[in-house]
């Protein structure tokens, strides 16, 4: 029986920037599987609708960041696998933090139970200019 999980993207100040609902096949998943499911779903949604902006976890190749996502120079299909690899790298290098029930996920292998009250938040760090 599929399990539904709503994930939120927030800024470090707590502002909600995106919300996505995933249908999962199991009630226990790893952080790696969470990222895979999320990236696969958002790329699939984009490829079907081809909106002006891609609202995803990581920036596709040949795209520029905007206030509400990423704008591709030309509308095209996005391959989810490079997006997934880029998202894994972002997690491992602390460019993305994942909070599960307000506790920071530490590793990709970490597993958690998905229940109706499970809260998952993705925080994307922004690089400061200068230095």
Class of domain 3-124: alpha beta
The 10s digit of each residue's pLDDT in 62-96 is 888 887 788 888 888 999 999 999 999 999 999 99
For the chain, what percent of residues have pLDDT higher than 70? 95
Token pair, residue 69, equals 């996502």
Which residues are CB-neighbours of 97 under 8 A, at least 6 positions away? 91, 104, 105, 122, 123, 125
DSSP state of 18: E
Which residues are CB-neighbours of 51 under 8 A, at least 6 positions away? none
Counted residue by residue, the chain has a size of 131
Please say if the pLDDT value at position 58 is more than 80. yes
Question: Structure pTM?
Answer: 0.91
Q: Where are the domains of the chain?
A: 3-124
């Amino acid at each position: 029986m599929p399990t539904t999980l709503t994930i939120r993207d927030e800024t470090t100040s707590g502002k909600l920037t995106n919300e996505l609902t995933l249908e999962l096949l199991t009630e226990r998943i790893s952080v790696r599987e969470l990222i895979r499911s999320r990236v696969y779903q958002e790329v699939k949604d984009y490829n079907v609708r081809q909106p002006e902006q891609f609202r995803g976890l990581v920036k596709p190749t040949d795209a520029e960041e905007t206030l509400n996502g990423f704008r591709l120079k030309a509308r095209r299909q996005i391959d989810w696998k490079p997006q997934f690899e880029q998202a894994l790298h972002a997690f491992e290098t602390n460019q993305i933090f994942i909070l599960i029930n307000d506790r920071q996920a530490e590793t990709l292998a970490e597993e958690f139970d998905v229940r109706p009250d499970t809260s998952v938040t993705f925080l994307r760090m922004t690089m400061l200019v200068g230095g």
